[in-house]
Structures are given as C-alpha cells and as structure tokens.
Chains A and B, each alone.
Chain A
Amino acid sequence: MTFRLLFFAAFLLAPAALRAAADLPALWAERVKCVVSVEYVTETETERRPTISMGTVIDTRGTIIIPSGAIDPRAATWQLKDFKVYLPGDAASSPAEYLGQDAFSGWHFVRAGETTRAKLTPVTVFAGQGASPVPALAEFVWGIGLRNKDEDFAPYIMQSHVALIQSLPQRTAIAQHEVAGPGLPVFNRDGVLIGIAATSFGQSFLQFSRRNRGDPVLLVNVEESSAFMLAEEILPNLGRIPKHVSGRPLAWLGAYGLEPMDRDVAKFLKLEAQSGAVVSEVLEGSPAEKAGLKDRDIILALDGKPLPSLKPERVVVTWLEREIDRRVPGDTFALTVLRGSARVELKAVLGEEPKLLREADRKYYDRLGFTAREFVYGDAIERRVKAAEPSGVVAHFVKPSSPAAIAGLRQDDWIKEIDGAEATSFTVVAAKLAEIETDQARAEFVLLVSRSGETAVLRIKLK
C-alpha cells in the first residue's frame, strides 16, 4: 500500500518538476537577446567620463531604452559622445545613436547600428496577447542581470516572488529579492513580459564596527533591483521616442513647488478624503499665471477628475507632474483649485518649457579657467529674480587652480559685470571673454559676481 501511494505521488509530481527544470533556461536563452549594455562618454571641459548602463530593446529598428538616471540632467546633449552597445557576454561593441529623453516616461532612447539590430530581439515579442498580465502576490518572477564590463557583460538569471504592488504613481511591483538589472525586463513563469526593473530602492542597515555601534546607513544596489514597473505602464509608452534629441516639445504649466496635502489638512479644510497639492508659487509669465492660478491655491482636480489618494503622500505631486509631462504645449486642461474656502475652476493652456540648463549656450575659456553659461529661466527662479530681466552669465565650471579659481570664482556664481561693464547677454559676455583670453598682454580683469544674494568683486590675475 505504501509502495503504491508513493508511486502515485511520484507520477503526479514528475511532469511539473521536469517542465520547470527544462524550459526556464530555454526561455532565458531567447529573452537574453532583448537586453544590452550601453556605454557613452560625457565630455566635460577637462575630462572624458565614461558611463555604463543597462538597456532593453523595444523594436526591430534597434531602439533601446535606458533608465532616466543613466544620464546627468546637467549635461548638454552635445557633451554626450561615443554611444556604444554591447551584447551580453560579448566584449565587442558597436556604435549607437542617442535619440533623447522622453519627459513623461523618463527613459532615454538609444538606437543600435544596423549590423547589431539583427542580433537583437525586441522585448515586445514577449509581451503576450491582449492585456498585460499583472502578477499576483507571491507569484514567481524572474529577470536578467548583466555583469560588469571586465566580465564582458555576462548575463545571468535572477528569480524572486512578488511581495507588494504599489502605485508610485506608476504601478510598481516589489519583489522579495533583486530580480533584474535596473532597466532590464522581468518575466513570469511562462516567459511573458510583466515589467521592467526600475532603479532599486534604498535599504536601511545598521553598520557595526569596532568604533561604532550600529550607525544607520542607506544602501542602494546599483547593479540589481527588486522593484519593477508593470508592463501596463511600459508598453503603451514605448512609442514615445523623442522627435528631437532635445526631447522637445516639453509641456509647461509653471506651478512651482507643489506640496502634497495630508489627510489631516484635508479633513480640517472639510475636504474629507480628497487628495490635493499646494502650489507654493506661480511662476511669472507662465501658463499657470495666465490661467489665473495663484500662490497657495490647492489643486484638487484635473479635467474634473479628483487627484488620486496615493501613498506615500508625496506621490501625488509626481502624479500631477506626469499629467503635465504626458501632454504637449497647446493642450488645454481644466484645474479645480481651493482658494481660501472657495472652489475655483480654471482653464490652462500648456506652454513650451523655457530653455533648460542643459540647453543653455556655454563656452569654456581654458586660459581663464572657467565656463560661462547663458542665464536661463531656471537660474532666475533659483536666484529669486525676475525672469523677464535676466542679465549676466553663470560660472558653469571652474577649473581647479586656474586663475579664476585662485581669484575665488566658484561654480554657479552669477557673473554680473566684467571689467565694470554690465554683462548684458551671453553673446556680449562671450565676445568680451574671448577678447580677454586672446590678449596675451592682458595682466588681469575684474568680475562682479553674486553668490547667494551677496556680491563680491573678484580680481583675476592672468600673469
């Protein structure tokens, strides 16, 4: 009897176990073709800084997405050079092209060269039929990781189980352990794409040493992540490849410093379970100002739809920002705000985002030892001055031990005068600095700079 029962059990279990052992490696072997490593160089005034990140192939034209954090937002697009794609486990690279960043999804898009494309499989092939599957709690999930360059980006498998699904505001699953490299896909047991790993979250640890008894430290795993955005957040946005490397057009509202309203405040204002965001400041000349939005208005609804209640409360701000980024300049949308105790309905027409820091004109003067950068709208906001009357330039970079550095110029100093003449525009400044730089007889020049509200006269000695 015992023999028969055991035999029976073995008969039932064997096929499942065999299938698991046999086909996961097969699924892996197919899907490893939709991941790559992307390397590029950021060229600064004095150095070339290489960066490597992981990316997922999204179409047959060799388009690859890499996470938003992979590229420094301060870097101008022309500083980003020598994009290269490496296949997993292959030391050889092939050139690639940078296509720009999509503001809504945050992804940077890169396109692999023609020769490489044939070796790649778009991740969409594994997307499954119909609606994207949402993993259940405790469901088995797996993904791909890539080793470092010195190991030829060797691919490896990671497996885990879903622990939690949250709206941040994108629907994000958090697995028990690391499940994929950030930017790389995550699959279910059947090999269907269920998400792409986000940058991993920090984890708190206590660090013990001979001297310290339990100092709290926050650790972030940069090579592997346990959080992934669900496929339903990914697949509809894969078509958002920027038409221009600048990422423009960029929608702009101009409501600065959105701060979440917590449940206690909502209750106090008799809004009960309503979510909301306080507008700290309405920027001058912005679409928000034209729409009649005022400082300290509380945004309650967008196009008649109440703001969602999300946790942590900060997430509602990201949600609102994404609702703007999703749109294009010229789009109209309705805002319901609480002003004092009255509800006010406003209509805003989104504008084009003013010139960004990374788009500002700039020029490096090696003999003087600094880079002058055009003063843009964001600079005016940061320095709390009227954007309508900007003047001067910003010291974008100061070379250590250069004449400018010795005179006391620091990065982000606002240069308002050169040799007593007002720095009216970038063009005027650039011409003036070029003249000083080429004049070998010149022994010194004087800058008037402003730093956190205080100004100082700096004397830069060239000889």
Chain B
Amino acid sequence: MKRGFKQLLESVVKIDVREVAFEAGTKRFTGGIGSGVILSADGLVLTNAHVASPRAVEINVTLANLERVSAKLVGWDHWTDLALLRIDLVEVKRRSLKFSHADLGESGKLFPGQEVFAVGTPHGLTRTVTRGIISNNNRYFEDTRGVNGYETGTFNTWLQTDAAINPGNSGGPLVTNDGKVIGISSRTYLGANNLGFAIPSSTAQRVVAGMLREGGGITRSYIGIVPKELQDLENFYSLALNTGMLINSVEPGSPAAKAGLRSGDILLTLNGASIDGRFPEQLPPIQNLIANQPVGASLKLTVKRGTETRDYAVVTEKLESRVGEEWALEKWGLSVRKVSRAYARENQLDDASGVVVIGVQPGFPAAAAGVSRGDIITKINDQLVLSLDVIKAAQAAYETKPEPTLFEVQRNRRVSLYILKP
C-alpha cells in the first residue's frame, strides 16, 4: 500500500445524523448513519445528499482517531446525491483535535477492471475497507425518487464497482490504491450481489466548487424537455449517425412548450454546439449543457421536425425539484408540502399554488374533518394558500383562538370543503 492510502484512511469519517420528518402529521426525529471523507484542512466533508439533508437537526462526525465532533451542512445537491459538511473548527481547536484530508483523483482516467477500494461505515462498522474493481466506468441511470423522494441521476453517470457497498457506506469514498478519491459510494442494487454505484469524482469536483461558490445549493437551468437516446431511430428520422437527440417529452407549461417544441422533435444543436444523443450514456452531459446555462438566458435550439429544420428561442427557468418544502401543523395533525412548479406540471394542476397533504394524524382535527394524504389544500377560510406561510399563519391564529376553519381541498380534480374544528 502506498503512503497516500494511509492518509486516506485517516480522512474517512462516520456521520451520525438526527433529522426531522414531517410525514405523520407531526414532527418526528429519526436517526441515520453514513460515511464521509474530509477534503480540506479547514474541515470540509463530502458525503451523500441522502445521508445529510437540510432536514438534519444534528450532525456528528466521528474522526478516524475516534473523536466525535459536530458539523454543519454547508451544501446540498440531491440531483447528484452530494452534500458538503463543515466540521466545527472552533470545537476542533478547543479540543486540539487532529484530522487528515484526502485528495480527489481523476475519475475520467479509470478503466473497467482497475482495482478500487471502498472505505466507510457499513451498518455502523467504522473504518471498513472493502476491495473490488471498476465494473463499469460510465453507467447511466436516473431515479425520480432516488434521494429520499428527490430526483437524482439526471446530470451524471455513475461508476459501478464490485467492492462491497452496504447501507452505511453511503457518502464514503471509493479510492484507488494510492488513496485518491475517485468516487463517492452511494447506492447498490438491493437483492443483487456486488453491484455498487458511486458518483464520479469529476462530478463531485464540479458540484463541490459550485456549492462553495454559491454558498449552498447548485443553481441549474431548466427548459422542460425529457430527452431520449436516438439509438435505432436514425433511419426513421432520416438522420446521419451520431447527430441529434430525441425530445421524448415536453413538459406542459415549460419554457420548451411555450417556445413551441413538441415531443418527437429532434434537437440538432444548442447555441450552435451540435448535439449527439445516440446512446443513453450521452444524455447526462447534454442535460448538463442545458443546466449550466444562466437562468433566464435565451437559448437557440435547432430542431428537426419531419423534414423541416428550424430554430427555436427558449428562455431558461431555474430548475426545481418536484419535492417542495415541508412542514407539520401539529395542532391540526397535518403534514404538508408546498406544491412546486414541477409537481404542478406532473399532476396537471393549473398553477403551483396550494400545499399537498403528506400525512395526517388520526384523531386530530384534519383527519376528523376528512382531509387525507394526497389532498391539495388550495384555500383556508377566504385566503388562497400561495405559500407555506399562509397555512402556518392560519394555524397560529387557530392556536390563539381555536375556531372552526374552512379548508378548500382538491383531490384529483374534485373540490371538497372541510371544517377543522377544535
């Protein structure tokens, strides 16, 4: 083993997270364990977005020397399943704690068959090293609910490895034998053996830089096209090989839809750069190309429809998750989530107003009135629910003076009225 590997081992941490969950009509606290790797002398720790999220109320990091220190979330990006923590440096100084840090390697140079090691805390077993090889260095898959219900995998491909990755390994580094971090172990196939997946360091590098630059999340642009590989369809669309990408779907109400794009169109160029989406593995870079445009920029898309080719101007929007902000209104026994634009589009709602009910507590006013999971609360008394603040304020008013409160609720397309009473 090289010296770098030992240094790496001293940079891997166990992460204990206590987070709040809103699902059951009340706030509940749950705990989880993951892994992470220290990236810098000033205590930045890289881990998975599904290990530490903005819902975390307490994060503790166990260093390689078994000392435990608190940490804070400083960046979160569910699209690439990455999160960035910072160790409490004041505490580190006060207790004179020592830690090492690891370097990112170049995931682009990996080849299938190359030996790699996964380091982490599987099932809470700290500092576990497992060995394997890179099974595939360019695996594509998207998961619309992959990170605790959030979308993931749209903007990156994955490294596949047969190094044993188990629950708790999440967020830990996948490294070469010189101790360079070439990936962040994220997931496995349940019920399969030795099919583990890691986010490549090339993605991590980009995302970490973005998080530090933007001070939190990553801003991406959105135009509302769902791409699909052209594989086998070139003849049908009379295209030369390796040209264009199929627009499989255009999200209703999205910038692309407003610009007049339709599903079945072929995207040939974007701002003059030619597009090649012949294979699924080629789609994440194209998605990134769109995402990296400034929000509000006008993009020129050259599109082929039938025999005609013409340009469309599409103005980008900020990319949003389908999952909106959540809250629990405990007096009513009601958990809600803000309707996001993406959720509204997906469910063909007229606009993004209202909150979705994600849970009710039996025996509490909301459940007693007949409100149930999946309902969208659109109006309270005479007030449209345009934000979470509206419903929070309504509950605060109810708390000071409990009075029957009228809810207008939409379920599928049916509108019902309910009274929540003390």
Contact = CB atoms under 8 A, between A and B. Distances in A.
B285 interface: no
Given A262-B418, A453-B252, A459-B236, A281 B263 contact: no
Contact of B306 (A259, A265, A420): A420
Given A259-B416, A278-B417, A457 B263 contact: yes
Contacts of B417: 259, 261-262, 265, 278, 298
A256 interface: yes
Contact of B264 (A257, A268, A281, A417): A417
B414 A280 contact: yes
A446 interface: yes
Given A264-B404, A453-B346, A457-B248, A448 B263 contact: yes
B415 A455 contact: no
Interface stretch (B2-10, B177-185, B207-215, B226-234): B226-234
Contacts of B263: 448, 450, 455-457
A281 B219 CA distance: 37
Interface string B344-366: 01101000000000000000000
A221 to B, nearest CB: 29
Contact of A420 (B264, B410, B412, B413): B264
A312 to B, nearest CB: 12
B195 interface: no
B402 interface: no
A281 B378 CA distance: 14
B404 to A, nearest CB: 5
A367 B249 CA distance: 28
B419 A296 contact: no
Contacts of B345: 453
Contact of A384 (B226, B251, B369, B413): B413
B415 A264 contact: no
Given A420-B306, A453-B348, A456-B249, A264 B233 contact: no
Interface string B227-265: 010001100100000000010111110000000000110
A259 B416 CA distance: 6
A439 interface: no
Given A262-B419, A265-B406, A265-B418, A457 B233 contact: yes
B161 to A, nearest CB: 31
Q: Which of A257, A446, A450, A457 has the most CB of B within 10 A?
A: A457
Contacts of A280: 410, 413-415
B406 A268 contact: yes
A168 B88 CA distance: 67
B411 to A, nearest CB: 9
Interface string A287-299: 0000000011010
A205 B412 CA distance: 30
Contacts of B415: 257, 259, 278-281, 295-296
A389 interface: no
Q: Which of B226, B416, B418 has the most CB of A within 10 A?
A: B416
Contacts of B346: 453
B317 interface: no
A264 B365 CA distance: 12
Interface string A444-463: 10101010011111010000
Interface string A48-68: 000000000000000000000
B149 interface: no
Given A420-B306, A455-B263, A278 B246 contact: no
Nearest to A260: B416
Interface in A271-330: 278-281, 295-296, 298
Given A264-B418, A420-B264, A444-B236, 20 more contacts: A256-B413, A257-B413, A262-B417, A264-B369, A264-B419, A265-B418, A265-B419, A268-B406, A269-B406, A281-B413, A295-B415, A420-B306, A446-B236, A453-B252, A453-B346, A453-B348, A456-B228, A456-B248, A456-B249, A457-B228
12 contacts: A259-B414, A265-B417, A268-B404, A268-B419, A279-B415, A281-B415, A296-B408, A420-B264, A446-B233, A448-B264, A453-B346, A459-B233
Top-4 shortest CB links A-B: A455-B263, A264-B419, A257-B414, A280-B415
Interface of B: 226, 228, 232-233, 236, 246, 248-252, 263-264, 306, 345-346, 348, 369-370, 404, 406, 408, 410, 412-419, 421
